[in-house]
Structure 1
């Protein structure tokens, strides 16, 4: 995934000393290690399917400031310092938090879409070697370093990116206990934005409802789930969303009571009639493939669309109530 950096800055929020160090200068992106690290952080955020989505509320003061910056009316470093100062004040009041650095990046993706990214980098302790010399005596020792930044490949617990063209927000955050209440500092405190389910949460919700309804109405849950995944993958490939009613019709086409039960459960879980899902989530193996494990310990993994195609796999229920699975048209078998 392509990430082009425009600007970046790092602010230090040192909870151990209760002092924040707000940088007055941007990071030097000509330094390859710095550039590579920031790009990696931004790239992971853009590729995330765990993020929730939201929008700024009306009369949101921060939204106005972010918009002014993105349109060239405000400066980058002062805006980021103001945001870092707010976050420092909030996490300072939280229980059991670690010293944290706040990385802010102005960047673009491969489609030239511009973003403003806010990333909280929790410091960690690490052991490193230390070489010292006294006269002709060279000694090597092990010392502990504090405030080590997370690895570039590590999944961050708290971040948000604001899309420049429409100010839509994607975020991941973890609850912090402040004054006895769990608070999401970025979406609830700093950004004060709305919250919609992530792509992963939406898909998990659909599969849970399908499995529950199938089991309650005597349908083959494995077959129902593979049909649901195949339908979602097919629809989202074409239009980034799928119909709740269409999914029910596809999965429970032979049972009107099951379809009604699905609709009732979907309403209870607040699943909208038209469900938007990020294509990146559907591209993952967990959606494209369906995996089942029998009570005899046999595991079978197959492309979800094959679940509804008797030319490749067929489920049948015997007279004694046991289930048989038949795999068909296999040209070769590879041991793994």
Structure 2
């Protein structure tokens, strides 16, 4: 359950070098509350979000603690956050203007500070004009400050647990002085990050394919084994252990296990990561294949190794064939 106690919006127009800081809190009418709650619920469970820990000398952490200890009010605190972010954004290349929403909220009874950086998107809105004679003229107007809709995702966000100061964030890289960096966590928050669940799964599949290819093994079968293992294990505990995945997939070959584990460690993905059970299971239950001939096939993971439904053949010329079986009906989509 999400309860929003305070919320405010500031405008960071980097294109016009203009900051518009609000002096008042948002009016929490039904549409505003719905907008904020929907995006909070969607973002806090995002598999692209990374957990983080503030550096001991983080100035942002000190700022948050000052607000938490009531050394400043919410409006003054939010303006400092927005001003700090603006100063960083104007140093980066190819930055779009943004609205910054800051909330003091309770998520499942835990007090959290929420920061949404809503990059402005282009869109069309209608405008009604009335001339001197009272005649109405309607027109389309190209608007450059469109916020994400309820079905869309926030571009970048930060959740700070005010009870234990843990950080959860999703951010993008910006070019600053010729270096691509995660501007919000690295420069604004000054915190370290662990890999996100989505990144971890992607890296596991990447390394499994690479190791299978190096040992002339079937890459498709190896990736399928990954999905089967993850699907089975996260039903009991919503955690993925990359090392355990390698031991299972390459259980008959210690050398492949060792190469996989070393590659995951070198890439910084050796530690277990918590995942959203429902979202991960939904993703793992299907296996999508793309062929070099442009054909795409989506097969339920449960059927992948069941030769009663699908079978793979290696032809004498090195090409592959796929046979789909026991089909009663085909629907065009």
1:118 and 2:109 correspond: no
Q: What's the offset of the Cα at 1:324?
A: 5.8
Q: Say whether 1:241 aligns with 2:253.
A: no
Which of 249, 254, 257 in structure 1 is aligned with 2:255?
257
C-alpha distance 308-72 of structure 1, shift in aligned 2 (>3 A)? farther
Alignment length, in residue pairs?
331
Q: Does 1:166 align with 2:179?
A: no
Is the CA contact (8 Å cut-off) linking 2:45 and 2:276 kept in structure 1?
A: no
Partner of 2:284: 287
State the match for 1:21 in structure 2: 20
Contact 1:236 1:282 in 2 (8 A): no
Q: Distance in 1 between matches of 2:162 and 2:311?
A: 49
Relative to structure 1, the CA distance from residue 292 to residue 191 in structure 2 (aligned partners, 3 Å threshold; closer, same or farther) is same
Q: CA deviation at 1:313?
A: 4.9
2:240/2:275 contact within 8 Å kept: no
After superposition, where does 1:18-167 map in structure 2 within 5 Å? 18-29=17-28, 31-70=29-68, 74-109=72-107, 111-127=108-124, 128-167=126-165
Q: How far apart, CA to CA, are the structure 1 residues paired with 2:318 and 2:144?
A: 61
Moved more, 310-319 or 52-61: 310-319
What is the match of residue 210 of structure 2? 212
Give the corresponding residue for 1:303: 300
Unaligned runs of 5+ in 1: none
1:286 and 1:89 mapped to 2: Cα distance?
39
Q: In structure 2, list runs of 5 or more residues that go unmatched.
A: none
> Cα distance, 1:74 vs. partner?
4.5
Measured against aligned partners, the alpha-carbon deviations of 1:59-98 in whole angstroms (never above 9, x if no partner) come to 3332233245446565222211111111122223333433
Preserved CA contact (<8 Å) 1:49 1:280: no
Please report how far the alpha carbon of residue 218 of structure 1 lies from its aligned counterpart in structure 2 after TM superposition.
Answer: 2.5
User: Are 1:223 and 1:315, in contact at CA under 8 Å, matched by a contact in 2?
Assistant: no
Q: Is the counterpart of residue 201 in structure 1 residue 199 in structure 2?
A: yes
Verify: 1:9 aligned to 2:8, yes or no.
Answer: yes
Corresponding residue for 1:186? 184
How far is 1:327 from its partner?
A: 5.7
Give the Cα separation in 1 of the matches to 2:159 and 2:307. 45
Contact kept, 8 Å, 2:234 with 2:277, in 1: the verdict is no
Secondary structure at 1:283 match in 2: helix
Q: Which stretch of the first structure deviates more once superposed, 314-323 or 276-285?
A: 314-323
Which residue does the alignment assign to 2:229?
Answer: 231
Shift of 1:34: 1.5
Whether contact under 8 Å (2:196, 2:273) holds in the other structure is no
Q: What does the per-residue CA deviation read over 1:111-138, in whole Å, with 9 as the maximum and x for residues that have no partner?
A: 3333211111233454432321322543
Partner of 1:335: 331
Q: Is the 8 A contact 1:202 1:277 kept in 2?
A: no
Inter-partner Cα distance in structure 2 for 1:187 and 1:256: 38
Secondary structure in structure 1 of the residue aligned to 2:149: coil
Structure 1 residue 145: deviation in Å? 4.2
Per-residue deviation, 1:229: 1.1
